[in-house]
Amino acid sequence: DLSTLTNINGRDLYVSGGIQVDLPQITEVVNTDGDMLWQTSGVGSVLSLPNLTSIQNGTELGQDFRFKALDGGRIQLPQIEHIVEPLRGNSNGRSIAFEARGPGSTIDLSLLSSFEDLHAGGLGDGYQDKSPQYSELVVADGGTIQLGQLRSARGVAISLDGTLDVSTLEELVDGHLNIHTAVAFSRLSTIDGSDLDLHVAGVTLPVLTTATNGWLKTNGNAVDLSTLTNINGRDLYVSG
């Protein structure tokens, strides 16, 4: 029973074997030492932080704070409304990342309304070349990240091959979209400094008016961009 814990700063957490860990007293967490990883794996394995309202990464080069739900595991963070990877310390190679991989794997971020990485700019390990690195929202192999309130993403790479509700997203700035499943960006009107890599037909952008300073690859898939009025600085790669 860990229900009395009030401080887990700097602590990695691994939950497996179909057990549930509840941490109701934790209201904030800070990455105080290198990389941090919270991971659940296996059906029935649950990490629940029902009152966590603040997630903060560290300030050193290459520090990552990663949340992974794998093979049916679940991570519950239902009170997180805002996440910011700020400009302080050495922000190169830092990120906050969420990954749900495999059927039944779920991360609950149902109240998240904004996700900002203010020194983002690349995929992969920014620690090696001391470069900016995106924060991430990744669903793969049928995993799910429960959203529903997200309006703004900045410096975030979104990789979609599962379930991720992007219907409320209104703007993406300095980010990356890697889309492998048909999805509707119902409210997305502004994309700036962000790359779009479409690997499937059926992606809809019905209110997109501004797509500036980045690139778009269709990879042979049709996409309706008839609402666009501004593509200044945008590279376009159309094939197929």
Distance CA 22, CA 13 (A): 12
The 3-state secondary structure of 210-240, one letter per residue: EEECEEEECCCCCCCCCCCCECCCEEEECCC
Q: What is the pLDDT along the chain (240 residues), one digit of tens a residue?
A: 889 999 999 999 999 999 999 999 999 999 998 899 999 999 999 999 999 999 999 888 888 999 999 999 999 999 999 999 877 788 788 899 999 999 999 999 999 999 999 887 656 554 454 567 899 999 999 999 999 899 999 999 999 999 999 999 999 999 999 999 999 999 999 999 999 999 999 999 999 999 998 889 998 898 999 999 999 988 888 886
204 has which bridge partners? 184
The whole-number pLDDT of residue 126 equals 45
* Side-chain-facing half-sphere of 14: CA atoms under 13 Å: 1
Q: What is the pTM of this model?
A: 0.93
The 3-state secondary structure of 13-57, one letter per residue: EEEECCCEEECCCCCEEECCCCCEEEEEECCCCEEECCCCCEEEC
